[in-house]
Structure 1
Amino acid sequence: MNKKPQRPDRSAQKNTQDRGQKRSQGGKPGAVGSLASNSARSDHPQRNPPRGNVKPESVTTPVAETRRLITRKGELPRERVPVILESTGAGDFYLIDSGAGLKLEQYGPYRIVRPEAQALWQPGLPESVWENVDAIFTGDTDEDGMGRWRFPKAALGETWPMSLLDVDFLGRFTSFRHVGVFPEQIVHWSWVKEQAEKTDRPIKVLNLFGYTGVASLVAAAAGAEVTHVDASKKAIGWARENQALARLERAPIRWICEDAMKFILREERRGNQYDIILADPPKFGRGPNGEVFHLFEQLPLMLDVCREILSPKAIGLVLTAYSIRASFYSIHELMRETMRGAGGAVESGELVIREAGLNGREPARVLSTSLFSRWVRQ
């Protein structure tokens, strides 16, 4: 291959490599609070101004409700490390190829090119394949996280129908380079689905930073009772659209538009509990009332409170971290200390997606997407 696919502006790559930015606004596109909802995943649609617009040193941070960390006693949970959870795609998604700071993906009927700083190698497929695409994301994302979509063949609408794990939803071209779903999470969603289907009672699932609700819909379709929390009104609106498309209007899902930390602290005071908690926080974001969230400052308290609202028959607590500043061992040891005395095991490592070629059935290289740590009862 003589030529590389055209790279987006370097300024566009500078900050987009960190999915942590994906939640700086509302909707996994962007805003988070003291623990604002997941909508602000550094790439979510916009809830609040993109994280890039917020300079921590210049922000007056509203004082969030807080409490002291609980001193845990007892044995540490067993550990399984490193664990690599691999997806080769599912339903209407697969990763075709990657390289030169880009990734080529299939989302339903569309072939899409997006920036991917983890793709340090050269593309495996010819330039002609990379040029034959429906949408390319580019633009200056250095400060405000905003960018542009270019449609080489024909102008496309904002949304299109997709399906993952037998749940229908809308893909969406957002100005934060994301498309309304984070497919590397398929491995966690499949695990939740399996737990819900094999348990002889309706399990209660709390989805923090829930973005456009695909995880919540997968859990509900499997029979779980779901509480979905996100600080972005826009993200909640998108999630409700997806609920209608998935024909799950009668499913037991509570849609909560609120700062995630405030919500779980209130749940702790009320004594409400959950069997599975999914936490997918942004690296930095703002909540609906200007709350400022910093992952590394507030993660210990968030996990501490999450442990307190796990039920006596809890099945698992799942944390995903898109900030590559940390190693998986950092969140692994934090999770083990948080779950000290609870038994079970903590497994931590990376979520990866394997390239699948043009037809989706030719396994090739692996692309690392994020870190994770998961406490499980068994």
Structure 2
Amino acid sequence: MARGRGQKRDERAPVKEKPAKRRRDASPDGAAFRAKAEPRGGDKADAPVAERERIAVEAATGERPTLRAPVILTVEPTEDYALLDSGEGEKLERYGPLTIRRPENQAIWPRRSASSTWERADAIFTGDVDEEGAGRWRFSGEALGETWPLAYDGIAFHGRFTSFRHTGVFPEQAAHWRFVEEAIASAGRPVRLLNLFGYTGLASLVAARAGAEVTHVDASKKAIGWARENQALADMEKAPIRWICEDAVRYCEREIKRGNSYDAILLDPPKFGRGPKGEIWQIMEDLPYLLALTRMLLSKSPLLTILTAYSIRSSFYSIAELMREEFRGLGGGIEAGELVIAEEGADSRLLSTSLFARWTAHP
């Protein structure tokens, strides 16, 4: 997912709207860099908590969609991205020209490669290994800039060294991107797509390239800024994408009141997050309500809805059955399972990254 080794680096990580200011904050020897980024879900971690008032939702009735599970979607190594090795709580990846070492709680097995290979990584994340914990990047050679150029299937974007160990792109999502692109291209009609918790915007760019009119929503101003940077990098400034910095739940509520609808909806929520006005998001508490809103936002001729869940103590069966309940009466079918990444080379392992459930009108 990358190309070229640029002197300066821009981002394509948990990203969303306006071009964010780039900051370099090196240690005296220039070997360490802390990116001024925020965790997914909002920019103000200390903002006051806002009480959520929910709108009335229509009760779902009728037959539940069919279920096919488990479905394992595997991302294989490419020229742009590869999982080189994993184990002992870490993973070693190649993003274009750079090798990156960072924490990975799922990698509980032994490493395949020698310690010297891991130590030669261009960038190594150190510090808090919690999913949203802050830390620092250490570079084995000359200090690297905050961002570097990447690409996915011809769409250029930036990787970014964030202080929350993310790089601005989740490679396993490529399985969903291909699925969405094919569904839009084969629809044979205009498609309106809503991308909730859209982050750095790659899914939105893929959908727009396929011909969809996209509304991209994220609560983080920085993420929206980075997504707009990616739009410019991809030379897609004229693509029909609206970038909305807003709490995802609030946006859905307002769209329902306006009478708007969408043919396809993507949901990639964090485990925890805050909206621009301090709204709290707790996935296990708020996901049922959001899925009910999602159903109410689907058009009369819908295509699909895809839900991805990270870092939660649950099963894909749980989110699949929740979606089946909320999507009663819509027909179609649901696939559910895990997104995994295959290591590069012989005798590779599969690294599980997230759970998913996706509904399609014509399974």
Q: Place the TM-score, normalised by the shorter chain, in its bin.
A: 0.7 to 0.9
Kindly state the Cα deviation for residue 43 of structure 1 after the two structures are TM-superposed: 4.7
1:257 to 245, 248, 265: 245
Which residues of 2 match residues 106-125 of structure 1 at below 5 A?
106-125=94-113
Structure 1 residue 175 and structure 2 residue 171: aligned?
A: no
Separation in 1 of the partners of 2:130 and 2:116? 29
Q: Which residue of 1 aligns with 2:10?
A: none
* 1:298 alignment partner, SS class: helix
Q: Does structure 1 retain, via aligned residues, the 8 Å contact 2:82–2:93?
A: yes
Structure 1 residue 364 and structure 2 residue 348: aligned?
A: yes
Separation in 2 of the partners of 1:158 and 1:60? 30
Separation in 1 of the partners of 2:53 and 2:331? 29
Q: Which residue of 2 aligns with 1:6?
A: none
Structure 1 residue 210 and structure 2 residue 206: aligned?
A: no
1:232 to 194, 204, 220: 220
Describe the shift of the 1:187–1:43 C-alpha distance in structure 2 as closer, same or farther (beyond 3 A). farther
Structure 1 residue 192 and structure 2 residue 180: aligned?
A: yes
Kindly state the Cα deviation for residue 91 of structure 1 after the two structures are TM-superposed: 5.0
Structure 1 residue 350 and structure 2 residue 346: aligned?
A: no
Which residues of 2 match residues 103-142 of structure 1 at below 5 A?
103-140=91-128
Q: Does structure 1 retain, via aligned residues, the 8 Å contact 2:172–2:341?
A: yes
Structure 1 residue 151 and structure 2 residue 139: aligned?
A: yes
Which residues of 2 match residues 18-29 of structure 1 at below 5 A?
none
Separation in 2 of the partners of 1:301 and 1:45? 17
Q: Which residue of 1 aligns with 2:84?
A: 96
Kindly state the Cα deviation for residue 63 of structure 1 after the two structures are TM-superposed: 2.2
Kindly state the Cα deviation for residue 223 of structure 1 after the two structures are TM-superposed: 1.2
Q: Which residue of 2 aligns with 1:291?
A: 279
Q: Does structure 2 retain, via aligned residues, the 8 Å contact 1:91–1:166?
A: no
Kindly state the Cα deviation for residue 69 of structure 1 after the two structures are TM-superposed: 4.1
Q: Which residue of 1 aligns with 2:360?
A: 376
Separation in 2 of the partners of 1:240 and 1:98? 32
* 1:117 alignment partner, SS class: coil
Q: Deviations over 1:317-337 (max 9, x none)?
A: 111111331111111110000
1:242 to 192, 210, 230: 230
Q: Does structure 2 retain, via aligned residues, the 8 Å contact 1:75–1:343?
A: yes
Kindly state the Cα deviation for residue 48 of structure 1 after the two structures are TM-superposed: 2.5
Q: Which residue of 1 aligns with 2:268?
A: 280
Structure 1 segments of 4 or more deviating over 3 A? 41-46, 141-144
* 1:62 alignment partner, SS class: coil
Q: 1:370 is matched by which residue type in structure 2?
A: S
Separation in 2 of the partners of 1:68 and 1:366? 42
Unmatched 5+ residue regions in structure 1? 1-21, 28-40
1:83 to 63, 71, 79: 71
Describe the shift of the 1:61–1:325 C-alpha distance in structure 2 as closer, same or farther (beyond 3 A). same
Q: Deviations over 1:289-337 (max 9, x none)?
A: 1111111111011000001111111111111111331111111110000
Q: Does structure 2 retain, via aligned residues, the 8 Å contact 1:91–1:164?
A: no
Q: Which residue of 1 aligns with 2:290?
A: 302
Kindly state the Cα deviation for residue 162 of structure 1 after the two structures are TM-superposed: 0.4
Kindly state the Cα deviation for residue 165 of structure 1 after the two structures are TM-superposed: 2.3
Q: Deviations over 1:51-106 (max 9, x none)?
A: xxx7xxxx963122412443221111111011111111445111111001000000
Structure 1 residue 320 and structure 2 residue 313: aligned?
A: no
Describe the shift of the 1:335–1:188 C-alpha distance in structure 2 as closer, same or farther (beyond 3 A). same
Q: Deviations over 1:115-163 (max 9, x none)?
A: 0010010011222221221000011355972100000111001011100
Separation in 2 of the partners of 1:91 and 1:312? 40
Separation in 2 of the partners of 1:211 and 1:229? 8
Length, aligned pairs only: 331
